[in-house]
């Protein structure tokens, strides 16, 4: 997959919050996972090790900055940082706020929810808690959006 066949070359890949010289930050459209953001490398490369050392350091610095803002704004129990790209092999990093009562904790957000179709007694409680969690997080997304935009604009002199 490359060029026009790649959705991350064809579009921003989400709501654009910041565009740096070599990467961009987008807010994902994932109703079950409010606060999930992605840092997407602008150029079509598949793997982290395709980047120069200096570009890799820029990417890690961006991940760290975004993670810090996300922690300060949403106070999650944990932050997950993941680069998969199995479906879209264009380098991007998911930065995901996690809570102990979210849908799939302590598994990855891509894991099948334990509560799904298992039908056990606790599953509806778990699903209700996860729904309440995602709804309360969704209310804080405007604050997160502003904090990310401001934080990255302040540091953009280096990009
Ligand atoms: Zn691409």
CATH code assigned at 69: 3.30.428.10
Count of structural domains, the chain = 1
Helix (H) or strand (E) holding 116: none
Report CA(7)–ligand 1 centroid distance (Å): 6
- The verdict on residue 49 lying in a domain is yes
**Domain assignment of residue 117, yes or no:** no
Q: What length is written for the chain? A: 159
In a domain? residue 124: no
The answer as to whether 107 is a domain residue is no
Six token digits for residue 62: 């961006």
Residue 102 confidence class, pLDDT cut points 50, 70, 90: very high
pLDDT of residue 159: 47
What's the domain range around 25? 3-98+141-158
**Ligand 1 center to residue 29 CA distance, Å?**
19
Asked whether residue 57 is assigned to any structural domain, the reply reads yes
Measure 60 CA to ligand 1 centroid, in angstroms.
20
When the pLDDT of each residue in the chain is averaged and rounded to a whole number, the result is 91
**Is the model's pLDDT at 119 over the cut of 60?**
no
Q: How far apart are CA 124 and CA 105, in angstroms?
A: 15
Residue 22 Cα to ligand 1 midpoint, Å, equals: 13
pLDDT digits (tens, 9 = 90+) for 28-83: 989 999 999 999 999 999 999 999 999 999 999 999 999 999 999 999 999 999 99
CA 123 / ligand 1 centre spacing (Å): 39
Let me know if residue 108 belongs to a domain: no
If 0-12 CB within 10 Å is exposed, 13-18 middle and 19+ buried, where does residue 29 land? Answer: exposed
């Amino acid at each position: 997959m490359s060029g026009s066949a790649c959705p991350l070359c064809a579009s921003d890949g989400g709501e654009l919050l910041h565009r740096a010289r070599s990467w961009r930050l987008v807010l994902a459209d994932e109703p079950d996972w409010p606060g999930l953001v992605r840092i997407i490398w602008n150029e079509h490369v598949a793997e982290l090790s395709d980047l120069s050392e200096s570009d890799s350091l820029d990417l890690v610095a961006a991940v760290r900055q975004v993670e810090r803002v996300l922690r300060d704004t949403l106070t999650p129990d944990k932050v997950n940082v993941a680069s998969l790209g199995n479906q879209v092999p264009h380098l991007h990093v998911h930065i995901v706020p996690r809570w102990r009562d979210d849908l799939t904790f302590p598994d990855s957000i891509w894991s099948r929810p334990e509560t799904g179709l298992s039908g056990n007694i606790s599953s509806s409680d778990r699903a209700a808690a996860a729904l309440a969690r995602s709804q309360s997080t969704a209310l804080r997304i405007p604050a997160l959006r502003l904090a990310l935009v401001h934080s990255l604009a302040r540091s953009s002199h280096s990009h």
